[in-house]
Amino acid sequence: MAVSTCPLRCGAKHSILSAMKRRTLLKTLGIPTILGVGGVFAYSRRANARSFYYEGPPSDHFDGVRFFLPGQTRDKTQAELWSWRMAGGKQVWPASFASPFQDRPPGGLRNGLRVTLIGHASFLIQAAGQNILVDPVYSERASPFAFAGPKRVNAPGIAFSNLPRIDHILITHNHYDHMDMATLRRLAAEHPGAKILVPLGNDAILAAAGITLSIAARDWGEAQPLSTDITAHLVPAKHWSARGLFDRRHALWCGFVLETPAGIVHICGDTGYHQPLFTSIREKFGAPRLSLIPIGAYEPRWFMRDQHVDPQDAVNILLDCGAKAAIGCHWGTFQLTDEAAESPAEELAGELVKRGIGADRFVAFRPGQVWEG
């Protein structure tokens, strides 16, 4: 029987580094190293005999310790990480990149589909009477540390106090810009009926952090009914996972496909480009009514290509899955990589013109912007 595990060493009170050592490490290496944007130190050469978070039989994407995408390229090396960090190509972001939008969503939506970008990769999806959060992050920093790390440059597009009753929370993976414990604790306190759905192993992480909501963990290819009308399917992504220094790929990552009465909603999650992942969405579920596709955190390309798509690859995903409409996300809120704040939206617009695709089919959303259909 497959079970999730979490030894004491992953708890916050059993921190590997003292506060002073953490500050020194962050100053020397830069926060992306710790976050796992580059994260070579998230993989220890002192290989562990077992996963920190999950125990189950080996499969075509789990070797007994770590998860992987079949055919996935190797992890980046320490030398490659240093090459990126020392190259000096990081563009300067503004301290504030405010969005002109702010949404006050209805309490529920019986007919149709309503989707709001809260910010970065956080969404509120409303359909068939259900209110569904995706990767909710309301913290000021996408970081394990309150004192350092990528800082929010715009407010959430829905104030926390304006959230409707939350029925479900979908979390694609455990990087800090997607799994935010402070937000999840707040949701548990104010929306105790909400249920969380995560890929394998992440339930152990949430339980160890004291998240009291009901949590279900599923594998790629498995499905979870969210209601009588909505089913969530976990689908593969070309990415990885880590919360700390030694747990790289010990928990699974995923995208989601939601079957709703208003149509298919495809949630890419973080991913590099691998065409079969996206053509299979259309083959299995049909063309999505809406696809949520990341467009940012992609430079330098030689380093980020295998984990984050750029706007060109994002358009490839749109065409591969055949989505009728798409929202560009994962840009303009937290600076994780080198490109300028506005570059993802500008490059997406140029790519759509180049390929003769209408600008209204794939829009780079700002926080608080709403799609209805």
pLDDT value at residue 77: 80
Helix residue spans in 54-168 (DSSP H) = 78-87
Nearby residues of 103 by Cβ (< 8 Å), 6 or more positions away? 116, 124, 157, 158, 162, 368, 369, 370
Q: What is the pLDDT of residue 270?
A: 98
Write down the pLDDT at residue 49.
Answer: 67
Residue 300: asked if its preceding bond is cis (omega within 30°), the reply is: yes
pLDDT of residue 5: 42
Assign 86 to helix, strand or coil: helix
The pLDDT score that the predictor gives to residue 66 is: 95
Whether CATH 1.10.340.30 fits 1-373: no
d(C-alpha 8, C-alpha 156), whole Å? 33
What are the residue boundaries of the structural domains of the chain, listed by start?
1-373
Residue 314, burial from CB neighbour count under 10 angstroms (0-12, 13-18, 19+): buried
- Strand segments, DSSP code E, in the chain are 3-4, 54-55, 113-119, 122-127, 130-134, 168-170, 195-199, 214-218, 223-225, 231-235, 255-260, 263-267, 290-294, 326-329, 362-364, 370-372
pLDDT of residue 47: 45
Tell me if 327 sits within 8 A of 311, measured CB to CB.
no
CB 131 within 8 A of CB 123: no
pLDDT value, residue 74: 78
As given in the structure block, the two tokens for residue 2 are: 């497959």
Please classify residue 92 by burial: count the beta carbons closer than 10 Å to its beta carbon, then call 0-12 exposed, 13-18 middle and 19+ buried. exposed
Percent of residues in the chain assigned helix, strand, coil, to nearest 5: 25, 20, 55
DSSP state, residue 93: P
Query: What is the pTM for the complete model shown?
Result: 0.89
Q: Give the gyration radius of the chain's Cα atoms.
A: 19
**Per-residue confidence of the chain (373 residues) as pLDDT tens digits?**
344 444 323 333 333 333 334 444 344 334 444 444 544 333 333 444 689 999 999 999 999 999 999 988 778 887 888 888 888 899 999 999 999 999 999 999 999 999 999 999 999 999 999 999 999 999 999 999 989 999 999 999 999 999 999 999 999 999 999 999 999 999 999 999 999 999 999 999 999 999 999 999 999 999 999 999 999 999 999 999 999 989 999 999 999 999 999 999 999 999 999 999 999 999 999 999 999 999 999 999 999 999 999 999 999 999 999 999 999 999 999 999 999 999 999 999 999 999 999 999 999 999 999 999 9
Return the SS3 of 79.
helix
